[in-house]
Amino acid sequence: HSTNNGSVSFYDPETGEVTNNIFLSANGTPLGDVVQSMTIFDTLGFIVVNGSGKLEVVGMKSFKTVSQALYFSYPRYFLPLNNGTGYLSMVVRKE
């Protein structure tokens, strides 16, 4: 934890090639700490980064960041909906 070294690898079934750290290669910045899950919907990938408390949205053709939402309390999973919204589950801790 707290190392900002979470990553995503991309597997191309047509070529059999694996591209490691595809987010870092596409954006020039690390993805964050503890990549929890990723959901693909249409042309977008929704990456939930638990330790960094964010939802990173990338274009699936380039893997470049399209949008991001920050400051969540340990997010886990994202469920996109057709109307441009979605549900994000997270752990809420009482301090």
Class of domain 10-90: mainly beta
pLDDT tens column, 10-36: 999 999 999 999 999 999 999 999 999
pTM score, whole prediction? 0.90
* Domain layout of the chain by residue ranges: 10-90
> What value, to the nearest 5°, has the Cα angle with vertex 18 and ends 80 and 27?
60
What are the distances in angstroms from CA 55 to CA 12, 14, 31, 48, 59? 24, 29, 10, 5, 13
User: Cβ atoms within 10 A of the Cβ of 55, count?
Assistant: 20
pLDDT tens column, 1-12: 567 889 999 999
